[in-house]
């Protein structure tokens, strides 16, 4: 009888686990890079990642009645050093840590991850999917969060994604304010008795006066994908972006138009700017859209498939960091990608980025100059 009960219990456990699915996936991408202008003391030649190297865990459990539990966790790292991204400045699970429910109503998730706007825009507006040295500047000047690793991500947030209606999907994300002591600067990299050192991504590294809000509509049907999104970060910066692509068969065309507006000085009081906004070079310790400034960013690009070979090209232009008198910056890139298999490919890219919005910066890579970039690498997904 005892053996029978044990067998029944094992069978029940097996049946229960059979309803749950766990997947492990990821990508390893390492290349050799060169840059004509670099920070003082830094070598112009380096070995590093061309893509965001990661290991992702996905869980789906069937709860019955069309309801599912879902959870995702994504570790990000630098394969050239073995450390987490940004020389350990970013969280171990930089990519995503979210859990929630999915059903006929759509999907609701809670945790940390890319916002409603930031998740779909890069891959739909950039021929490189925002990877390699040639990746287009798809949202210049806007950072979702100014904590380390928060360029396009938000923590302590709630997400909703609607079911697809003839190709149209609506998504939104929301996160409350994060406040430090009133009138005090955020505490960063300090060690207190009996506690571990706090990094720049610690909760106390952010003072905010705004709630994070992001809303996006994406239509993807057949050869056409077009999205429109709006987002406000916790210090009042706002972005509105129209983006998309069209697959003609012989070529796939990409385009994006974004407008970024900087928040007020009061909204930024006490904020530690640990995150770098995409491609904006203001000099000094922070890199974000200017207080009250306005950035317009336009990107166009294309991919041309030729069997296993794919040609890529892209061009972006934006007006510095949006401060009065800032001149236009631009970036032009070309690349080739060759598929060795369904999971492995090699690539090489060249890019030229003209930076006009710095007149006094010790970092030569961010001065008024033209920066020439090159890479060659190999990537494997699993």
Return the higher-pLDDT residue of 44 and 337: 337
pTM over 0.95: no
What local confidence, expressed as pLDDT, does residue 90 receive?
83
Is 158:216 a contact under the CB 8 Å cutoff? no
pLDDT tens, 153-166?
999 999 999 999 99
At residue 322, does pLDDT exceed 80? yes
What local confidence, expressed as pLDDT, does residue 312 receive?
98
At residue 124, does pLDDT exceed 90? yes
At residue 203, does pLDDT exceed 60? no
pLDDT tens, 268-301?
877 777 766 554 544 333 457 888 999 999 999 9
Q: Which of 17-31, 264-278, 328-342 has the lowest average pLDDT? A: 264-278
Return d(Cα 336, Cα 74) in angstroms, integer: 28
Residue ranges of the domains in the chain?
Answer: 23-176+203-381
Query: What dihedral do alpha carbons 117, 205, 262, 92 form, nearest 10°?
Result: -30
At residue 138, does pLDDT exceed 90? no
Return d(Cα 109, Cα 64) in angstroms, integer: 19
Is 257:72 a contact under the CB 8 Å cutoff? no
At residue 360, does pLDDT exceed 70? no
23-176+203-381: CATH architecture: Beta Barrel (2.40)
What local confidence, expressed as pLDDT, does residue 199 receive?
33
Average pLDDT, the chain: 83
Q: Could you tell me where the DSSP H helices lie in the chain? A: 2-18, 118-125
Mean pLDDT of 43-56: 91
What local confidence, expressed as pLDDT, does residue 101 receive?
98
Return the higher-pLDDT residue of 125 and 181: 125
At residue 224, does pLDDT exceed 60? yes
Residue 342 is classified by DSSP as S
Q: Which residues sit opposite 166 in a β-bridge?
A: none
Tokens of 35: 């840059």
């Amino acid at each position: 009888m005892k053996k029978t009960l044990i067998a029944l219990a094992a069978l029940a456990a097996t049946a229960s686990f059979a309803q749950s699915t766990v997947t492990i996936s990821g990508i390893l991408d390492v290349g050799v890079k060169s840059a004509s202008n670099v920070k003082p003391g830094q070598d112009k030649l380096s070995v590093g990642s061309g893509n965001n190297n990661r290991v992702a865990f996905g869980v789906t459990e069937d709860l019955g009645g069309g309801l599912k539990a879902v959870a995702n966790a994504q570790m990000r790292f630098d394969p050239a050093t073995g450390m987490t991204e940004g020389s350990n400045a970013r969280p171990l699970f930089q990519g995503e840590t979210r859990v929630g429910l999915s059903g006929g109503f759509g999907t609701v998730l809670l945790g940390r991850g890319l916002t409603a706007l930031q998740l779909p825009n890069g891959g739909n507006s950039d021929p490189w999917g925002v990877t390699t040295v040639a990746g287009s500047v798809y949202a210049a000047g806007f950072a979702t969060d100014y904590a380390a690793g928060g360029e396009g991500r938000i923590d302590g947030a709630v997400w909703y994604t609607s079911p697809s209606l003839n190709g149209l999907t609506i998504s939104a994300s929301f996160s409350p304010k994060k406040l430090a002591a009133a009138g005090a600067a955020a505490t960063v990299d300090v060690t207190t008795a009996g506690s571990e050192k706090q990094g720049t991504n610690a909760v106390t590294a952010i003072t905010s006066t705004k709630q994070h809000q992001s809303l996006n509509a994406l239509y993807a049907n057949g050869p056409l994908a077009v999205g429109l999104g709006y987002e406000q970060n916790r210090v009042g910066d706002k972005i509105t972006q129209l983006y998309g692509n069209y697959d003609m068969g012989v070529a796939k065309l990409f385009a994006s138009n974004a407008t970024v507006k900087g928040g007020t000085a009061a909204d930024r009081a006490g904020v530690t700017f640990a995150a770098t906004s995409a491609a904006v070079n203001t000099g000094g310790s922070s890199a974000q859209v200017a207080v009250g400034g306005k950035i317009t960013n336009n990107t166009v690009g294309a991919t041309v498939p030729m069997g296993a070979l794919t040609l890529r090209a892209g061009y972006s232009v934006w007006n510095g960091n949006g401060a009065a008198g800032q001149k236009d910056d631009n970036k032009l890139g070309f690349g080739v990608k060759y598929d060795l298999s369904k999971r492995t490919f090699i690539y090489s890219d060249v890019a030229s980025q003209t930076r006009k919005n710095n007149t006094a910066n010790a970092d030569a890579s961010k001065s008024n100059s033209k920066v020439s970039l090159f890479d060659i690498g190999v990537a494997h997904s699993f």
